[in-house]
């Protein structure tokens, strides 16, 4: 049995470390391009959507005090079959997230060392992280805290240099442009927000610590909200300042825009610090993401959702899900043919489906309480999660067409798998609790 020993500050630190705040600079260029220079505004829209969803996560974590996920909550409040499809959609995120992490890291390394192509850096990331995961090496919690401290330090240093550059050129630090973009466009800001949501992926991961947290019914909901709020504050503040300095620097490649800006405002020193912080963060995140994805696929193989003979086995010598790890590595090779914008859209599709259904679950939970005669707050029970559903699914429609095609196709495959596993919906779907 797990020991309850984590308090709010520990859970919050875990959530922020999982977010990897420096990623906000890693995706700055593509979001700035989509939002017409309104990156901070796009992050503000994404934050509103995440806070609405965080409120629903908090309610569900309070009502279902177990290590949970979107899959768990949907299955317990709405439907076994819809829960399965949410878990299936989440698998798309898990499998593609390592690829995106490697691709972002490769884009920035290529900007520093243009003689080495992106695909070569991607291969280096894949081979090194795959080898470590097959050997069973994991990133410890203390290492995550050190990594978080390094990331925050790099962001702070970048921000200080950016503020100096803006004021040194006689410009004001007060401007609406980073929030509205030029020209202002709701569609452009929304398109940027759809990509910006990638930076928030993992804010709900603290629900997995429920069984190890002291007074989880109070601590976990607060930690979820604080993770989204603090993370969002870092994202908005850093992109606001970066947008102010952006016009002063000529950016050649939007995929590595923040690196070029760092080089322009801080020379070799800041660019080296920035690149080191980003790559260390990407490498550690890649190890954890590949390990998580492989464990998900192993658990689904063990439960019969995926082919058991291939996915549901462990390597005899290392005790790791070697086959699943290699599958994630092969999927990572797709990154050689994609850009950062398209790849982040792929994983946001599954995340938006999960976030939307968490809000639906909160509404169903309220209806259940009302039917049982329990007094309910219509604002918390219906209005906020309802707005969460609308905002999240609106952002879903703003994703790139390839992401909608891939995500929609994946869901159709999931429906086919579910139909086969349940013999035409006549049997309950297999339990994916350990997986999702």
Task: Identify the band that residue 29 occupies on the pLDDT scale cut at 50, 70 and 90.
Answer: very high
Average pLDDT over residues 247-270: 90
Please give the class, per CATH, of domain 8-421. Answer: mainly alpha
What is the C-alpha separation between 26 and 30, in angstroms, rounded?
A: 9
pLDDT in tens, 103-156: 988 988 888 899 999 999 999 999 998 988 888 654 444 666 777 788 889 999
Question: For residue 427, what pLDDT is reported?
Answer: 84
Instruction: Report which listed range, 27-41, 123-137, 334-348, is most confident.
Output: 27-41
Q: How far apart are the first and last CA of the chain?
A: 20
Average pLDDT over residues 337-356: 83
The CA distances from residue 30 to 25, 26, 104, 315, 334, in Å, are 10, 9, 11, 40, 19
Average pLDDT over residues 2-15: 76
Average pLDDT over residues 237-245: 96
Question: For residue 341, what pLDDT is reported?
Answer: 75
> Tokens representing 176?
């609406």
For 104-113, 354-363, 423-432, which range has the lowest pLDDT when averaged over its residues? 423-432
For 46-55, 240-249, 317-326, 354-363, which range has the lowest pLDDT when averaged over its residues? 317-326
Task: Identify the band that residue 182 occupies on the pLDDT scale cut at 50, 70 and 90.
Answer: very high
Average pLDDT over residues 93-108: 87
> Tokens representing 394?
């609106």
Computed over every residue of the chain, the mean pLDDT equals 86
């Amino acid at each position: 049995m797990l020991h309850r020993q984590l308090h709010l500050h520990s859970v919050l630190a875990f959530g922020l470390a999982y977010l990897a705040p420096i990623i906000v600079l890693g995706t700055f260029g593509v979001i700035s391009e989509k939002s017409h220079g309104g990156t901070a505004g796009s992050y503000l829209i994404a934050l509103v959507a995440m806070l609405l969803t965080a409120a629903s996560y908090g309610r569900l974590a309070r009502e279902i005090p177990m290590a949970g996920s979107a899959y768990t909550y949907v299955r317990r409040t709405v439907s076994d079959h819809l829960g399965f499809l949410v878990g299936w959609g989440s698998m798309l995120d898990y499998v593609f997230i390592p690829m995106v992490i490697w691709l972002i890291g490769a884009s920035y390394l290529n900007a520093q060392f243009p003689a080495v192509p992106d695909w070569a850096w991607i291969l280096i990331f894949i081979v090194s992280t795959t080898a470590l995961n097959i050997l069973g090496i994991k990133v410890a919690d203390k290492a995550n805290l050190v990594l978080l401290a390094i990331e925050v330090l790099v962001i702070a240093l970048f921000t200080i240099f950016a503020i100096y550059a803006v004021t040194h050129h006689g410009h004001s630090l007060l401007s609406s442009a980073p929030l509205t973009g030029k020209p202002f466009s709701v569609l452009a800001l929304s398109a940027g927000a759809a990509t910006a949501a990638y930076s928030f992926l993992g804010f709900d991961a603290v629900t997995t610590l429920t069984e190890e947290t002291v007074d989880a019914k109070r601590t976990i909901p607060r930690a979820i909200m604080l993770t989204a709020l603090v993370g969002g504050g870092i994202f908005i503040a850093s992109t606001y300042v970066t947008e102010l300095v952006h016009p002063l620097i000529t950016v050649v490649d939007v995929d590595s825009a923040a690196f070029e800006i760092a080089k322009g405002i801080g020379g070799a020193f800041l660019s080296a610090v920035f690149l080191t912080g980003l790559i260390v963060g990407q490498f550690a995140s890649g190890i954890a993401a590949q390990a998580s994805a492989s464990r998900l696929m192993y658990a689904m193989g063990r439960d019969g959702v995926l082919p058991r003979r291939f996915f549901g086995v462990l390597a005899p010598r290392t005790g790791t899900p070697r086959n699943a790890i290699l599958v994630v590595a092969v999927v990572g090779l797709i990154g050689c043919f994609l850009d950062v914008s398209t790849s982040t859209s792929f994983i946001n599709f599954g995340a938006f489906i999960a976030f939307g259904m968490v809000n639906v679950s909160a509404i169903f939970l309220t209806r259940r309480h009302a039917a049982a005669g329990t007094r309910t707050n219509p604002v918390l029970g219906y209005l906020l999660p309802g707005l969460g559903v609308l905002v999240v699914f609106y952002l879903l429609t703003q994703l790139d067409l390839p992401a909608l095609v891939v995500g929609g196709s994946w869901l159709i495959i999931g429906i086919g798998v579910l139909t086969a596993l349940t013999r035409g919906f006549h049997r309950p779907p297999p339990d994916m609790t350990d997986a999702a």
